[in-house]
Structure 1
Amino acid sequence: MVNKKIARNIPLHIMMLPAFLLVLVYCYVPMVGVVIAFQRFLPGRGLFGSKWIGWENFRYLLDMPDMMQVLWNTLSIATMKIVVGEIVPIVVALMLNEVRQIWFKRTVQTLIYFPYFLSWVILGGVLIDILSPSHGIVNQMLGWFGIEPIFFLGSNAWFPSTMVVSHVWKEFGFATVVYLAALTSINPSLYEAAVIDGANRWKQTLHITLPGMVPIILLMTTLSLGNVLNVGFDQIFNLYSPSVYQSGDIIDTLVFRIGLQNAQYGVATAVGLFKSVVSLLLISTAYAVSYRMANHRIF
């Protein structure tokens, strides 16, 4: 019986083999390079010829004068992205779920989903033009109301919120589609019973729709917490400048300057290892909490 079951699943395992090899080659083999975090790495000497210095790179990292500010920028921007990035697609999905004109619903889905496929290199140039204090359309519209031009990408007061809004604008279309798919799994008979009991649309949403979306909301939030330190290098690198380092410099951009521009590969690897460990702890904690509070498991 066991041999028949194994034989029946052999084609499935063969189908998984290419994906397994890709993950092995591109995700696990490079993990050997983690040892660079504990070395004074010199490219000429290679991975096994560089001097072992233990925790020295981590001490150097913590002693950097800007490290605490960079860590705060990373956590604050990431937290705002996670919170706003969860609320907006949920609200939009609930609103689209109430639309009865299929053509309008599909048109809106396409329009809000389109920015998700564009890279930040393209969107960065678009945002720089749109938010320009001299000729950008946003500041021109603000001028109609007598508001002075705002330097969204050059002001420490405005840069973090600009990053959050632009990130949500680009990404919320994908999450909206996920939540709309989750809505289709809710049993329609629950709504019929609620109508018989006299529940209006708001009460149906509050007592049926939102509880039905809880599992996928927990899943999306858990996955987001695993990337809390990955604020979005592509976005910030294409939009920030030295004038907003105080509020916009994050761990990834710091690693770029240290590792590639200053050739301090050991310190840059130490930062990456630190990020990975923190992300692992956060996603494990979030998974455990969601399992205990909502009895929700991913695996």
Structure 2
Amino acid sequence: MKDLQTNHPGVEKLQNQPKIPVKAKKKIGARLWKERYLYLLLLPGLLYFIVYRYIPMAGNIIAFQDFSAFQGFIHSEWVGMKHFKTIFEDKEVVRVLWNTLYLSFLQIVFAFPVSIILAIMLNEVRNGTFKRIIQSIVYLPHFLSWVVVVGIATIILKSNGIVNSFLGNVFGMEAIAFLQDPQWFMPLIVLEVIWKESGWGTIIFLAALSGISPTLYEAADVDGANRWRKIWHITLPALRSTIIILLILRLGSVLDVGFEQIYLMLTPFTMEVGNVLDTFVYFKGIQNSDFSFATAVGLFKSLIGLLLIVGANRLAKKFGDEGVY
């Protein structure tokens, strides 16, 4: 019986598997100890994600309960998929979902390419000092909070603001209610995003452009290519993989168009077109104390984002790109 066990091919395979030597384990421990200060620097970032990102995920359980703050997580009534069914039955949710998708589509179509165009334009600047000054100017709005940005927009666009004063004095036009007219809400949101975030988005594209070999441009000069030809045949192909990765990541947050900006820009006149999932969850969950339904909407939003990332990543790989993973 002993001979049969030792001669069995499966047993031989298990016996022949390489084992991690003791010396290798000691080397790993020694390396961890040697680089302990680097891991200490990493610790605050890990703690941030663990405490504020992963531990709160346990609270998603209330999406399947009729949660009561007095009864707590354990004793609240379990209702299964009730709140998820309500998402598709509530007409307000359908309208809010449409507003979110439409606004996200506008941001992808109009705001996302601006960073690419800006990076290409900065890459074409030959004067180093002038280039650094322009970079600093376009980066600065990123460091302003949305409260400041919306405050600036309100001052400029109000009935007696700079824009309406200019239109009235120069063209004799009546004051336009930019902040109250629903038709202006989404264009203003997109313009604010472009002004605030486009400069910051150029950092990644400029880093990708710095990896292009100068010999490619020199060879294009020899072939007689002008600047537009070099951008089309050298610069844009070099940015392709970066654009695809960032676009995939952007699709993951397609239902996340930003709470602060939307909430600050909302007025009773623009609520019909401006109320998105983020603000809807706030109004429904905090103001109306419907925590379970608001959590179900948030979980639904995260699930859609995950599916879009996986689908877009597979599609990118199908066309020969690397994708995110």
Q: Which residue of 2 aligns with 1:6?
A: 28
Structure 2 residue 59 is matched with structure 1 residue 33 = yes
Distance 2:171 2:117 in 1: 29
Q: In the alignment, which residue of structure 1 is the partner of 2:92?
A: 66
Kindly state the Cα deviation for residue 294 of structure 1 after the two structures are TM-superposed: 3.6
Q: Which is greater in Rg?
A: 2
The answer to whether 1:278 aligns with 2:300 is no
Give the structure 1 partner of residue 9 of structure 2: none
Query: AA paired with 2:161?
Result: G
2:285 to 242, 248, 259: 259
Partner of 1:233: 259
Query: Structure 1 residues 8, 33: CA separation in 2 closer, same or farther (over 3 Å shift)?
Result: same
* Distance in 2 (alpha carbons) for counterparts of 1:93 and 1:14: 34
User: What residue number does 2:324 align with?
Assistant: 298
TM-score relative to the length of structure 1:
0.94
Shift of 1:135: 1.4
Runs of 5+ unmatched residues, structure 2: 1-22
Q: Residue in 2 aligned with 1:139? A: 164
AA partner of residue 315 (structure 2): V
Shift of 1:141: 2.2
Correspondence 1:156 to 2:156 = no
Contact 2:114–2:198, Cα closer than 8 Å, also in 1: yes
- 2:282 and 2:120 map into 1 onto residues whose CA distance is 40
Kept in 1: contact 2:248–2:309 (CA 8 A)? yes
Alignment partner, residue 195 of structure 1: 221
Higher mean C-alpha displacement, 265-274 vs 153-162? 153-162
Residue matched to 1:113: 139
Deviates most, 141-150 or 26-35: 141-150
Please say if residues 149 and 192 of structure 2, whose CA atoms lie closer than 8 Å, have aligned partners that are also in contact. no
Count the aligned residue pairs.
Answer: 298
The separation in 1 between residues aligned to 2:39 and 2:143, in whole angstroms, is 31
**What is residue 249 of structure 1 aligned with on the other side?**
275
In 2, the alpha carbon distance for the partners of 1:23 and 1:260 equals: 24
Alignment partner, residue 193 of structure 2: 167
CA contact (8 A) 1:109 1:177 kept: no
Does the Cα contact within 8 Å between 2:106 and 2:190 map onto a contact in 1? yes
Cα distance in 2 for partners of 1:4, 1:18 equals: 27
Describe the shift of the 1:191–1:140 C-alpha distance in structure 2 as closer, same or farther (beyond 3 A). Answer: same
Partner of 2:239: 213
Provide the secondary structure at the position in 2 that maps to 1:48: helix
**Aligned partners of 1:51, 1:151: CA distance in 2, in Å?**
48
**More deviation in 30-39 or 5-14?**
5-14
The alignment's C-alpha RMSD in Å is 1.8
SS for the counterpart of 2:61 is: helix
Q: Equivalents in 1 of 2:61, 2:322: separation in Å?
A: 36
**AA aligned opposite 1:80:** L
Write the distance in 2 (CA, Å) between the matches of 1:205 and 1:294. 22
- Deviation of 1:59 (Å): 2.4
Measured in 2, the distance between the counterparts of 1:146 and 1:292 equals 56
Higher relative contact order (CA 8 A, sep 6+): 1
